[in-house]
Structure 1
C-alpha cells in the first residue's frame, strides 16, 4: 500500500487496522504532495505485486503526468483519488473562515475521468459502497492500473478526524 500525504495519511493512520508487517509506503516531497503517483508506480514496479495507492485530489493534480507511468504496471495497481475538492486538511487548522476557501482550500472542481482517458487507464467513480466494492474487485482482477475517484463531501474527512481526536483526548 502506498499512502499519500495530508489528510489521507492522517485518516489511514487513525482508522486503518492493518496486519503486523503489512508494507505501507509513503514519501515526503518538497511540499509534501508532489511526486506521489510516481513513487507509487515505483513501489509497484520494484515489488511486482498488486499495489493500492491512495492520494488526495491536490496530490493527484500535482503529479498528473505520472499517470503515464501507471500504464507500465506489471500487476494490478489501484490508484484511489480522494476528491474532496482540495486542501481540506486546512479545515482542521485555525484559519480565518472568510478567507479559508480562497487562500487555503484551493478548490479545483475537477473530474479525473478525463485524465484517465488521456493516459489510457481504466476509471471508475463509484457513488456508493457496493459500487466501490465492485470497482475494486474488478481492478484487482485485471492486469494494469485502474483509477478510482472517490468524490467525498468537502468536510467529512476533516470532521471525522477531529471527532476521533476529540474522543481520544477524553480518554
Structure 2
C-alpha cells in the first residue's frame, strides 16, 4: 500500500490466498491514503507452496498442518474495502479480465488454481530449464 501511495503508475501485488488472509488488515490504509493498486490473489485453497516440499507426500497430516484449506473466496473482502473485484476461474480468461477497465483505486483479481496442477506445471518447467542448461553447457 505504501509503495503505491502518491504515484500515478499502477502498482501490482501478487500474493497467495493464505498470505493475503494474514495481510488483509493492512488494507485499512486505503482509507487514509491515496493508492493505485491491483492485488492478484492466487487462490489454491491453502498453502500451495508447501506442496513442493517432501511433507506433501505424508497424506495423513499434510492437509491439516500444511495444506490448510480455507474454502474462502475474497469477493466480500473486496466489497468491504471498496475494491473492483474480478473472478478468474481459468487461465484462458486472465488476459481479457486483467485488462478490464479499473473503476476504483483498488482492484482485486482472484485467480483460482489447483495445487496439484501447479506443482506439475512448475516441475515440468524446471525440467525444461534444466534440459536447456545441460544442452547449453555441452
Return the TM-score normalized by structure 1.
0.66
1:78 to 14, 35, 38: 38
1:104 and 2:66 aligned: yes
1:135 to 89, 97, 115: 97
1:51 and 2:11 aligned: yes
Contact 2:17 2:43 in 1 (8 A): yes
**How far did residue 110 of structure 1 move?**
0.3
Q: Which residue of structure 2 lines up, in the alignment, with residue 169 of structure 1? A: 130
Q: Work out the CA distance in 2 between the residues paired with 1:54 and 1:105.
A: 19
1:156 and 2:97 aligned: no
1:87 and 2:39 aligned: no
Contact 1:85 1:109 in 2 (8 A): yes
- Counting only pairs closer than 5 Å after superposition, residues 1-16 of structure 1 correspond to structure 2 as none
Q: Work out the CA distance in 2 between the residues paired with 1:133 and 1:92.
A: 27
**How far did residue 51 of structure 1 move?**
1.0
1:100–1:80 distance in 2 versus 1, CA, 3 Å:
same
Contact 2:42 2:110 in 1 (8 A): yes
Aligned residues: 129
**How far did residue 167 of structure 1 move?**
3.0
Secondary structure at 2:14's aligned position in 1?
strand
Q: Work out the CA distance in 2 between the residues paired with 1:86 and 1:44.
A: 27
1:144 to 94, 97, 105: 105
2:27 to 67, 70, 74: 67
1:122 and 2:70 aligned: no
Residue segments in structure 2 that go unaligned for 5+ positions in a row: none
- Which of the two has higher C-alpha Rg? 2
Contact 2:6 2:34 in 1 (8 A): no
Q: Work out the CA distance in 1 between the residues paired with 2:71 and 2:14.
A: 19
Q: Work out the CA distance in 1 between the residues paired with 2:35 and 2:65.
A: 40
Q: Work out the CA distance in 1 between the residues paired with 2:119 and 2:45.
A: 13
Contact 1:74 1:144 in 2 (8 A): yes
Return the TM-score normalized by structure 2.
0.80
